[in-house]
Amino acid sequence: MSSVLDVVLSSAFLAAVLRVATPYLLAAFGGLVAERAGIGNIALEGQMLGAACTGALVAGYSHSVALGAVCGVAVATLLGVLLAALRLELGADAIIAGIGINLLASGATAYAVYTLLDDKGGTSGLKSGTVPTVTLPGIEHVPVLGDVVSGQNLVTWLAFLAAPFVAWLFFRTRFGFHLRAVGETPDAAASVGIPVRRVQYAGLALSGALAGLAGVFLSMGYVSFFVRDMTAGRGFIALAAVFLGGLRPWGVFLAALGFGAAEALAVQLGTLDVPPQLVSTIPYAMTLVALAVYAWRRKRRGAAGEVATASL
């Protein structure tokens, strides 16, 4: 057991947690923004995948990491807008449309990679590079923190800045107020002249962009190439983090970080002769239990909490 503790307390492990948590954090915030705007974004998975593939391909052919990253995020943003358009213009069910977008991304990325590179697996044959790492000057001399933080990818920094950003956006800006109002009570928002659809489009675009950043990190940070279906269900886990975090920015932050930590732990424990598949079920089992506890508590509290509304 002491070896497990050694692993967990090492700065290398903490650095791994930040790295592994990055896509979860970004995608979860993407999911949060969409959920708060009133359109559940189940297409996070597809948006990440689209961004990961586009980023690697564009960067590989243009030899510009920046251009690749921008194009990746742009594709994911467009997929977010597509989801909003299907929901708002064509009356589609957001969940079904989301499944459709995931399917589209899965098929289109694989088709693109196969057509361009004649490779079924991914873009490992293409040199595409990674987003640069960032080290704050002097921080590497701070004990522990220096080891954990320095040399982290720029996107990882962005992921951790996303929490305060989203909190600020929600609770300090006009757009955030309108977004939350639109998601909670669209009629009320419309009755004071807030352009409900426009706000929802913007929310879903932002949601897609955040998921896109997560995807860019996967293929241009975590590793340096695109692999078919490389998101491997991260979009859905991020969605779970949104609910687990109670739809609040800092709650979602903690939930996503927890998923990252559990996954990093599973990787580490795999080296200690524990079946890695079983260890990697821990975050999901935790979510399941948390979901039940959360629902049970809300059910008990719900009765009291709704007094005001129900006395209408």
Partner 1 sequence: MTLIEAEDRRQYRATRRRDLAVDLGMALATVLAALTIGFLVMLATGNDPVRAYEVMLTGPLERSFRVGRWLEDATTLTLLGLSVAIPFRARQLSLGAESQLYAGALAAAAVAVFLPLPAVAAVIVPMVAAAMAGAGMGLVPGSMKARLGANEIVATLMLNAIAVRVYDYLVNGPLKEPGSSAVHSKPIQRDSALTPLSDWFGIPMGRANVGLGLMLLTAVALWLLITRTPLGYRIRMTGANPDFAAYGGIKVPRIIEWSFVIGGAVAGLAGAHLVQGVYGRLEPGLAGSLAFEGIVVALLARNNPLVVVVAGLCYSYLRAGGDIMEQQTDVGTEIVVVIQAVIVLLVTAQAPPDLLKRRIARKQVGVR
Partner 2 sequence: MMNESWRKDGPAVAARAVTKTYANGVRAVRGVHLEVPPGEIRAVVGENGAGKSTLMKLFYGLEQPSSGEILIGGQPRTLRGPASAIALGVGMVHQNFMLVPSFTIAQNVVLGVEPGRRGLVDPKAAVETTARLAAGAGLAVDPRARVDEVSVGMRQRAEILKALHRRAKVLILDEPTAVLTPQETEDLFAAVRRLRDGGMTVLFISHKLREVREISDRVSVMRAGSLVGTVTTADATERSLASMMVGRDLSLDVDRAPARPTGVTLRVRGLRYEAPVGRSLHGLDFDVAGGEIVGVAGIEGNGQSELAEILAGLRRPTAGTVHVGGIDTAGLDVAGHRRAGVGYVPEDRLRNGAALDGSIADNLVVDRHDRPPLARRGTLHPGAVRAHAERLIEEYAIRTPDPSVPVRALSGGNVQKVIVARELSAGPRLLIASQVTRGVDVGAMRFVYEQLVAARDAGAAVLLISADLTELLALSDRLLVLKDGRPVARFDDTTGLTEKRVGLYMLGVEQHEQDHLTAGLEDLGEAS
Stretch that binds partner 1, among 54-62, 66-74, 94-102, 207-215 (CB under 8 A): 94-102
> Cβ neighbours of residue 142 under 8 Å, at least 6 residues apart?
none
| Amino acid at site 32 | L
- Per partner kind, with CB cut-offs from 5 to 8 A, the member of partner 2, partner 1, none near residue 267 is none
- Subset of 164-203 contacting partner 1 (CB under 8 A): none
Q: Which of 194, 199, 239, 266 binds partner 2 (CB under 8 A)?
A: 194
174 binds, among partner 1, partner 2, none (CB under 5 to 8 A by kind): partner 2
Nearer to partner 2, 277 or 309 (CB): 309
**Shortest distance (Å) from residue 219 CB to partner 1:** 18
Does 174 bind partner 2 (CB under 8 A)? Our answer is yes
Residue appearing with tokens 């920046």: 66
87 near partner 2 (CB under 8 A)? no
Q: Is 198 in the site for partner 2 (CB under 8 A)?
A: no
Q: Which does 189 bind (CB under 5 to 8 A by kind): partner 2, partner 1, none?
A: partner 2
Block residue for tokens 């977004």: 179
User: Do 286 and 258 form a contact (C-beta atoms < 8 A)?
Assistant: yes
Intra-chain end-to-end CA distance of the chain, in Å:
57
Burial class of residue 236, CB neighbours in 10 A (0-12, 13-18, 19+): middle
Bridge partners of residue 152, in order along the sequence:
134
What tokens does 211 get? Answer: 């998921």
Locate tokens 């990325």: which residue?
109
The contact set with partner 2 (CB under 8 A) reads 172-178, 180-181, 184-185, 187-195, 303-304, 306-312
